[in-house]
Structure 1
Amino acid sequence: MQGIIYRIEKPLETLQIDVPLEGNYLLGSVHGSTMTNKRNNPKDPFFVRFFSGSDRSVVFCFCPTESLTEGALKYGWARACEFAEKGSIPEKKACFVWSDSSSPNVIGDISRFIRESGTLTEASYSIVAQVKAAVDARGMAILAATLKPERIDRALTAYMLGLAYRHVLEEAINELAECCRDDAKVKRTETMHSEISRFIASYYFDAPARVTTTEVAPLYDTVHKRLRLKSLRDELVDQLGRIAEVIRIERTASESAFETRLQRRLTIFGAVIAFLGLVQVTQVTPAQVDTFTTSWKTKFSGNPATPALAADLKTPVVAPALSDDRAEAPPRKLKRVRHEVQSESH
């Protein structure tokens, strides 16, 4: 059994990839986010959506082929294009072969099918559990004694999971690097930092296969090692740490600049208030000061006199000046009285 694995960025909307993954050989969070399609025939394309519900979900299409020839590669490509939206080009990721024969001719055909060369020899295979496996980024080949569909599907799913992890990690590394280089996209780094960190915490595991499985766990360990997933994960985490430090430094600088501007505005505002206060003080007249002082003296002395009365008391009373005629009137009256007295005596 052999075929080609394609990544389809935009699968047909009519394509239903909503069947839960059969079996219980992956961890709960990985198993629960992995969906497949319903197949009526083992020769039909096999679709798997990893990390369902995530912004970085990946859809793979495994197209079985009849042989290991070059014509089979063209057939697989044509089949994959049937399930992609118009304008979306399937991306070939790798090949997968499960063979019950280990003859030199078969091993040579497998090498040409996966690597398009004869470099994949019998020495390239290692014993994993009860099979011989050769794994790299271009394909996975397994030599086993039997062809059991359940075993094949599990091995294929484990390999595609490793490819999905590799795709997400490489894509995230490239996107972060591009955002850091491009000033127009640098604002996205904080959002991406949160998104990728959440993805790693929710979906990525170095050992997603349950240890109780006798074949899937060892096979995935081989896939994990050959695809160098740990190195990619460590590089991405280190990159996230550096970006977080850059974000912290820029945020601190921004806050410092804001505080500087605020302090400058407060200083200007205080100077304006002081100036207005000085203007108010210079407008006080001596009469206002005198009235203010008198009022407080009256309050402390207990004198109920008002400031106006106190002012009146301080002002001397001057009698109005009399005219000369009114001043000489009394002497005239006295003279007439004296004259009358003298007449009577005579």
Structure 2
Amino acid sequence: MSKIWVLGAGQLGAMLKQAANPLGLDVETVDIESQAQLSLAADDVVTAEREEWPSTTATNQLATHANFVNLQTFPQLADRLTQKQLLDKLELATAPWFPVTEETSAEQLHQDLGERVLLKQRRGGYDGKGQHWLKASQPSEVPHDWKGCAIAEQGIGFDEEVSIVGVRGKSGETYFYPLTLNLHINGILYASIAPLKRLAPLQAKAEEMLAKLMNDLDYVGVMAMECFRVGDQLMINELAPRVHNSGHWTQAGASVSQFENHMRAVAGLPLAKAVIKNQSLMVNLIGVPVDYDWLSIPGLELYWYKKEVRVGRKVGHLNFCSGDQAELKDALIKLDKLPTPYNQALSWLTGHLSH
């Protein structure tokens, strides 16, 4: 079988490669700063673990390969302006928004979008970065250097944040994982839980929305859709044309993880509906050193990314999957040495287990 090249050699690329190994797929990850000349064959396949990359010898070689799956989708979804325009075209619910131009004023944005307006830079800016709040109660202006390179969204008073991960094959078949409930602290995902019975009534709607997107893009592979839940409605917040942090629980909680599903899809292998094993929890490790004592916690699965530990940096995650809620709660208790704000994240997970 042809070699599969992954543009990007971060943790997502490493987990894609790990998931491909049991399938006998030959996968090579490529650092986005690489200036190497790659030995690409005409029938090789290229995928990516990220939406954007710099121009280097290696990335230019990959990005011009005839078998780069979803190549045209990356620039469209990486730019929040064109992403929002796509959602509007497909009549998929999202927060009311406007592009920020040279003429845009805070006064006009408040008139059009309300008291709370969130500015988002069009490119990059994940994990709470690249955002700026305008609040009528605290008068301020649109930063000059944001004009022409940002969008403005109405601040949504949502009930909670959920996401869905789906996969689409080359022949157009689609499969989906259960809706995942997510906790963000300071814009960074700290914890996820799935499945939850109370979210089941929204599953069909979420699948319909994501399928509409993937079909319109003729997308192949895994895509994630982050949403605000407002009552019994879903509003799309962000799209990720790749495997996603909120789907990490599938490594422990599903017969086929999001990573394996993505590699199956881009390789043209058969897809299958994932069997969900039990209740799953995921705890992101943000700026904390590895503690191998975690391995003594029954049922815990550690994924350590081998990165330098820095404040606010994702350096690993923990997965738990069990049908025994007491076991899951006990595991969370044993993580109580994690620093603030993990007390909030662990309490949040415990509370949803109790419900």
TM-score normalised by the shorter chain: which range applies?
Answer: under 0.3
With the length of structure 1 as denominator, give the TM-score of the two structures: 0.23
Q: TM-score, normalised by structure 2?
A: 0.22
Where is the helix percentage greater, Structure 1 or Structure 2?
1
